[in-house]
Amino acid sequence: MGVGTEIDVSLHIYDTMERQKVPFVPRTEGEVAMYVCGPTVYDVPHLGHGRTALTYDVIRRYLEWTGWNVIVASNVTDIDDKIINRAETEGRTEPEVAAEFTKAYDEQMERLDILPAESRPHATQFIEGMVGIITELVDREAAYVVPNKGVYFSVEGLSDYGRLAGRDLDQLLEDAGQRVDVDTDKRSPLDFALWKSAKAGEPSWDTPWGTGRPGWHTECVAMSLSALGPGFDIHGGGDDLCFPHHQNEWAQVTATGQPFARHWVHSAMVNVAGEKMSKSLGNFTNLAEAIDTAGPRALRLLAMQTHYRRAMEMGREALMAASAAIDRLDAFRRRMTAAGVELTAGDTDPTTVAAFKTAMDDDFGTPVALDHTFSLVRGANGSLDDGDSASAGVQARTALMLFSVLGIEVGFADSVAVSGPDDAEIETLIEQRREAREGKDFATADRIRDQLAEAGVVLEDTSTGVVWHRT
């Protein structure tokens, strides 16, 4: 349930095309249509996939909470050079490879509690639409056929080409001209393939230009327009897609005379040990392993601690720090519950809710929004220390609500492999320690505390009972 029934138009987002924050103005009042570039399914998902998915999930959750009806489409690229190469190497078919890694991706998205998209188009399901787009571009002389190679888009017909990348056409042409592998069959080194002629052993489809397969950039055009229609509100993805992929999507639609995305949103890359994540650097970190290690809520919290447009550190140290923070939040909820504080019904703090909303309306400023939310946790603990359970309740309820807006449910343990005692065993030992202390058996009480400390469990004796968390 959102904060109200009326749509607040105070939301500003950074539009990559405009290079500045702009007021969000939707195509349809009260509705947001958002397309998020999904995975190319040739390998298991990595941390970059996780960050991108979490970014747009939080954007969606916040928009829905504030009253927008959000429609999300997110594709699966199930035909691509990388898929073809893997299939050939492993002696499998392309659909087999794509099915395996689509399943792997979906499993991790479910673990991260990513809200499912209303539309999940697969590239191979939209070949007819792609052929239609390419045909129109050829008819408009925005594209040309190269026999036995395919169909290319003619970039020089668009004076604004490069705008999304923040570079003009002359700059891009100069850079392209410096390459040694420029295709001489192309009219311009910037021209890109809309359709690729068939090669032996590769998947192919019949078209007016012979058999072949689509180019990557055309796939997303067909899928986004089919799912959401022209002029949809937000086109999102990682900033590694800005150029050439998104630029080339924009070029095709612009050449047809249709409106495309009203706003372009890009999330930044992930660093591991201070370096951009990449296979060439050997830090292509497996998303499943990160979730196994730290838990899905920790990964979500870590992603929200850095603004989505800034590169973020997602190494083991950062992950474990986020995991410890989640443990402390769970301990906070346990403390409030033990003290009899009402957490599910009652007033919330309108001042902090307004501050949270101001932060999120400023280009989805999750770091500031989190600061406000953690301040409520500290305030609730302080109020309870002072014996003011009513104030503690207002602050605790507000904090839990705002964490939930970001997709972080506090107090519900993740299924994470941990060493030492599980939660039930910890609670049993804490109860045994309580009984020992009441019986003035302080040696046993101390032994239990030391036992838990060795297992990485810290006990905090408060006026309302024992609160624990893992280190």
Residue 215 pLDDT more than 80? yes
Average pLDDT over residues 114-137: 97
Residue 421 pLDDT more than 80? no
Q: Which residue has the tokens 């036995």?
A: 148
pLDDT band at residue 277 using 50, 70 and 90 as cut-offs: low
Higher pLDDT, 201 or 450: 201
Residue 390 pLDDT more than 90? yes
**Could you tell me the CA-to-CA distances from 79 to 115, 322, 326, 378 in Å, in that order?**
25, 36, 39, 50
Least confident of 52-56, 133-137, 466-470: 466-470
Average pLDDT over residues 389-411: 97
Average pLDDT over residues 143-162: 93
Average pLDDT over residues 207-231: 95
The closest alpha carbon to 266, from 294, 297, 296, 308, belongs to 308
Q: Which residue has the tokens 């069959």?
A: 185
Average pLDDT over residues 406-425: 74
Q: Which residues pair with 193 in a beta bridge?
A: 152
107 φ, ψ (degrees, to nearest 5): -60, -45
**Could you tell me the CA-to-CA distances from 362 to 20, 38, 249, 307, 324 in Å, in that order?**
12, 25, 27, 11, 28
**Could you tell me the CA-to-CA distances from 72 to 47, 61, 139, 288 in Å, in that order?**
22, 11, 32, 24
Least confident of 194-208, 317-331, 442-456: 442-456
Cα distance between residue 146 and residue 205, in whole Å: 17
**Could you tell me the CA-to-CA distances from 434 to 43, 420, 440, 459 in Å, in that order?**
51, 20, 10, 12
Residue 7 pLDDT more than 60? no
Do residues 241 and 216 lie in contact, with contact meaning Cβ atoms separated by under 8 Å? no
Higher pLDDT, 101 or 445: 101
Lookup: tokens for 302: 């870590």
Higher pLDDT, 41 or 184: 41
Q: Residue 204: CB partners within 8 Å, gap ≥ 6?
A: 198, 211, 212, 213
Specify the pLDDT at position 5: 42
Lookup: tokens for 322: 């986020």
Lookup: tokens for 23: 């007021």
Let me know how many helices (H) and strands (E) the chain has, helices first: 15, 15
Higher pLDDT, 121 or 169: 121
Higher pLDDT, 461 or 245: 245
Specify the pLDDT at position 1: 39
Global pTM reads 0.86
Specify the pLDDT at position 172: 85
Cα distance between residue 402 and residue 373, in whole Å: 7
Cα distance between residue 306 and residue 314, in whole Å: 10
Written as one string, the DSSP assignment of 47-116 is HHHHHHHHHHHHHHHHHHHTT-EEEEEE-BB-SSHHHHHHHHHHT--HHHHHHHHHHHHHHHHHHTTPPP
Residue 47 pLDDT more than 50? yes
pLDDT band at residue 4 using 50, 70 and 90 as cut-offs: very low
Tell me if residue 311 falls in helix, strand or coil.
coil
Residue 417 pLDDT more than 70? no
pLDDT digits (tens, 9 = 90+) for 291-330: 998 999 999 999 999 999 999 988 888 999 999 999 999 9
237 φ, ψ (degrees, to nearest 5): 165, 180
pLDDT band at residue 468 using 50, 70 and 90 as cut-offs: confident
Superfamily of domain 12-267: HUPs (3.40.50.620)
Residue 67 pLDDT more than 50? yes
pLDDT band at residue 281 using 50, 70 and 90 as cut-offs: low
Average pLDDT over residues 140-169: 93
Specify the pLDDT at position 440: 78
Average pLDDT over all residues of the chain: 90
The CATH fold assigned to 287-405 is Four Helix Bundle (Hemerythrin (Met), subunit A) (1.20.120)
pLDDT band at residue 420 using 50, 70 and 90 as cut-offs: low
Specify the pLDDT at position 398: 98
Specify the pLDDT at position 170: 81
Least confident of 33-42, 334-343, 361-370, 446-455: 446-455
